[in-house]
Structure 1
Amino acid sequence: MADDTKSPEHTNGAGQPAPQTAPEAAAQETPEPAAEIDARDLEIAQLKEEAAALKDRLLRTAADMDNLRKRAEREKAEATLYAATNFARDLLSVADNMSRALAAVSPEAREKADEATKNLLAGVEMTERELLNVFQRYNIRKVDTVGAKFDPNFHQALFEMPTKDHPPGTVVQEMQSGFAIGDRCLRPAMVGVAKAEG
């Protein structure tokens, strides 16, 4: 005959199922651990994604600031270099006049000149040299002309000269000196350019 009685731990004295103890009831009411782990994983993934986005934004901002600093330094250097452009352009006529004054006196006339005239010419030459040294100190230089290839950025052609002595496109004569400041043309040189004889 089968034993119909339930074990005492699952029944009360009247044969009814025993009420659940507090720990058993709590175990049934708590959410499943898998759902809790999924929610935590999702939150971690969201935080990682947010941290990556913030890191990317921080790196971009740092790169933008670095580019801004470099651009400001470059603009400051250019402003310093080119600040004297207008002033230097005005001084070019002074240099031209000194060159013309010295060119007006031929070597023969110099030899025959009295001591005062020779001293005056020497003073003009020294002043011209000093002016060119000051130009050089501020990165202002004479443009290469005779023998150089014609460069429309730094030369202005006044005429073409047919010749076999120089390749076509070569500067063969300078009418007025040109000057550059840094990489920019301050005043183009007035030149004559060789062309092939035809």
Structure 2
Amino acid sequence: MASDPTAGGAPADMPVDPDTLDIPPRPESAAEWQRLVEQLQAEKADLQDKQLRALAEAQNVRRRAQQDVEKERKFAVERFARDVLSVADNFGRALSALPADLDSLDPALRNVIVGIQATDRELQSVLERHGVTRIASLGKPFNAEFHQAMMEVENPDVPHGTVVQELIPGYLIAGRLLRAAMVAVSKGGPAAGAAAASAN
């Protein structure tokens, strides 16, 4: 018994009308075949271009994410290092207040001082291992990139603009400025260039 087309859909052997299918017409000439090939090649090139752009964008996203992570890590290290510098400053102040002749002190007190000196050296070593290095300032020409002038000292014996006193040491981290050194700068002496010329 034949199936009723209105009952549950058309039977499997029901003929299909080709006019209802979206099939491009078959090229009938070499020119039409050539145009079809060129069209397919253009579509292929467009898809390849979109794929390359998508891959490049994904790579850029990964690179930006890595840069953000690295930047945050550096900022975190810098914040921690800047906090540790206050500890190093306190050690420096304590050591600078010590008398020059430690042999005259009580042996017990002398041992405490030796321990403080050893701790300060270890702290400086730890900072250096993590890329934090102290800026050498004394006797150097003033450099606004690394120094912050807190006062001027009259001294005709040294070239003008020479760092003659370091109030608070400065530090670099991985070659970048972490904290500028607070210094006293000489005035009244010869210009740095003139002093160098006379020395030669």
Is 1:98 the counterpart of 2:91? The answer is: yes
CA distance in 1, matches of 2:49, 2:81: 48
1:161-194 alpha-carbon deviations (Å, 9 max, x no partner) = 5666655554333111112333443321101335
Q: Give 1:51's aligned residue.
A: 44
Is residue 74 of structure 2 the alignment partner of residue 81 of structure 1? yes
For the pair 1:130 / 2:122, whether they are aligned, the reply is yes
**SS at 2:184 equivalent:** strand
Residue 29 of structure 1 corresponds to which residue in structure 2? none
Number of residue pairs matched by the alignment: 164
In the TM superposition, residue 150 of structure 1 has moved relative to its aligned partner by 3.4
Query: In structure 2, what is the equivalent of residue 145 of structure 1?
Result: 137
Matched letter for residue 83 of structure 1: A
Q: Measure how far apart 1:48 and its partner are.
A: 1.4
Distance 1:165 1:50, change over 3 A: farther
Instruction: Look up the equivalent residue of 1:121 and give its one-letter code.
Output: I
- Counterpart for residue 117 of structure 1: 109
- Tell me, which stretches of 5 or more residues in structure 2 are unaligned? 1-26, 191-200
Aligned position for 1:42 = 35
- 2:168 equivalent in structure 1: 176
The 8 Å contact of residues 150 and 170 in structure 1, kept in 2 or not, is answered as: yes
Question: Which residue pairs with 1:24 in the alignment?
Answer: none
Moved more, 163-172 or 97-106: 163-172
Any idea what the Cα deviations from partners look like across 1:21-69, whole Å, max 9, x if unmatched?
A: xxxxxxxxxxxxx962222211211221222222222223323333333
Amino acid at match of 2:109: T
Instruction: Decide whether aligned partners of structure 1 residues 59 and 193 sit closer, same or farther in structure 2, where only a CA change above 3 A counts.
Output: farther
What letter corresponds to residue 71 of structure 1 in structure 2? R
2:157/2:189 contact within 8 Å kept: no
Deviations 1:93-150 (CA, angstroms, capped at 9, x unpaired): 2211111111111212x12112111111110011111212222232222223224443
Aligned CA-pair RMSD: 2.7
| SS, match of residue 84 in structure 1 | helix
Change (3 A) 1:40 1:88: same
Q: For 2:185 and 2:58, how far apart are their aligned partners in 1?
A: 49
Q: Structure 1 vs Structure 2: percent identity of aligned residues? A: 38
After superposition, the Cα gap between the structure-2 partners of 1:195 and 1:138, relative to the gap in structure 1 and judged at 3 Å, is same
SS at match of 2:29: helix
TM-score by length of 1: 0.68
Q: Quick one: which amino acid aligns to residue 88 of structure 1?
A: A
Structure 1: which 5+ runs fail to align?
1-33
